[in-house]
Amino acid sequence: MLVSYADLGGTVRATLGFSRRAEYRLEETRGRLRVLLEEPVDRSSKIDRDLDGDVVRRLRVDETSRGGVVVFTLGKRYATFSSAELDDPFRIVLTFLPEGSSPPEPGEQEDPQPGQGSIPGPAVPPGAEPVIPPGSGSPLAEPSGPLRRVVLDPGHGGSEEGAVSRSGLKEKEIVLDIARRLRDRLAGDGYSVALTRDGDEAVDLESRTALANQAGADLFVSIHANASLRSAVHGAETYFLSYGASDEEAMSLARLENRSPAGPGAVRGDDIKAVLWEMAQAEHLASSSRLADIIQTELNGLGGTSDRGVKQAPFRVLVGAAMPAVLVEVGFVSNDAEEKRLASGDYREQVAAAMASAIDRFRQERLRASGYSAP
């Protein structure tokens, strides 16, 4: 089970996501709302967190003698709640309303349809001001159709060079060039695209996601190049967010990428704000996984590359994204053959073309699943 939580300007929305339909009942007592599940929750889903809200103060996910339980401790401004069910995958959506607010109109609790944007999530930690990264330009322009707002994140920049090859080829330069090429391709297809940096400037990790949230982006794609102590290692790999990691190698990469200097309002470790950011992305976990699958498939079609698969890891740059978000490692600069390809403008164009095709495939797939027809 995955739990996501977002404060939507007073009204609070919590979504419980399941791999299959769950049998449950709701029980409201004085000061608490319980979701009683017939099946136990797995250990990784257990949560006990203070949310410090006036509507919902605490969230706990635990086991009982009969199954699992999700307990919301209600705050002093709580008035009432409403619930809804969504399918594919099965979700229970709970909306907690503060005093003086009106119940949501029918359909407001449903997942956003194409053109309506993503379910809002916290763009920055509570109490911190949003930061628009330098060089990011103006907000996203109006796109030529639904699900066409994309924020591309060229990794590193400024003093943060990222991976550097033996010949001096720098990750920050490779990925900026690929991001610009990808932006131009997507813009030519009617997408509205912004870069978290469009020059050689440093941008902290938290501000990158904040830009995507503020822009109401439909997708967030962070682009990187890899390195390894083993020069034979090569190939592309695509990641989406997880509290853990697929393997030790994925965790080591996340630790390395997470070393970037923190920005204003940065969160670390067990801080509750970090947990809330991760829970915001949990709402989009299935879509992020699917986007990663499609991108990886397209990159696998490039000549000379090797399929290193789709993986999960706790990348800070993906934490807090209120939309499907992935991190793409386009190749290894530590491998001589792959370094030569990544140094080539023609090959970078091929990488950009593959990623543009993947993004468009993902968009079309989501539109078809929603029964929506659009160019």
Residue-by-residue pLDDT tens, the chain, 375 positions: 777 777 766 788 888 878 788 899 999 988 999 999 988 876 656 778 888 789 999 999 888 878 899 999 999 999 999 888 887 678 888 989 998 765 544 334 433 333 222 223 333 333 333 334 444 444 576 666 788 999 999 999 999 999 999 999 999 999 999 999 999 999 999 999 999 999 999 888 878 888 888 888 899 999 999 999 999 999 999 998 865 554 566 666 666 665 655 443 444 444 444 554 555 556 688 889 999 999 999 999 997 788 899 998 778 888 778 889 999 999 999 999 999 999 999 999 999 999 999 999 999 998 887 776 656
Instruction: Give the model's pLDDT for residue 226.
Output: 94
* Predicted confidence (pLDDT) per residue in 290-323, tens digit: 999 999 999 999 977 888 999 987 788 887 788 8
Q: One-letter amino acid identity for 302?
A: L
pTM: 0.62
Burial (Cβ within 10 Å: 0-12, 13-18, ≥19) of residue 259: exposed
* Predicted confidence (pLDDT) per residue in 130-160, tens digit: 334 444 444 576 666 788 999 999 999 999 9
Cα separation, 276 vs 268, whole angstroms: 12
Q: Tell the residue number behind the tokens 């509205």, with chain if given.
A: 192
* Predicted confidence (pLDDT) per residue in 20-52, tens digit: 888 999 999 889 999 999 888 766 567 788 887
What are the beta bridge partners of residue 310? 238
| Per-position DSSP letters for 320-361, written without gaps between them | T-SS-EEEEEEEETTSHHHHHHHT-HHHHHHHHHHHHHHHHH
Instruction: Give the model's pLDDT for residue 48.
Output: 83
| Per-position DSSP letters for 109-161, written without gaps between them | TSPPPTTS-PPP--SS-TTSPP-PPTT--SPPPPPSSTT-EEEEEE--BTTB-
336 torsion bin: left (phi>0), alpha (psi -120 to 50), beta (else): alpha
Mean pLDDT value across the chain? 79
Cα separation, 299 vs 223, whole angstroms: 13
- For residue 196, report the phi and psi dihedrals to the nearest 5 degrees: -70, -25
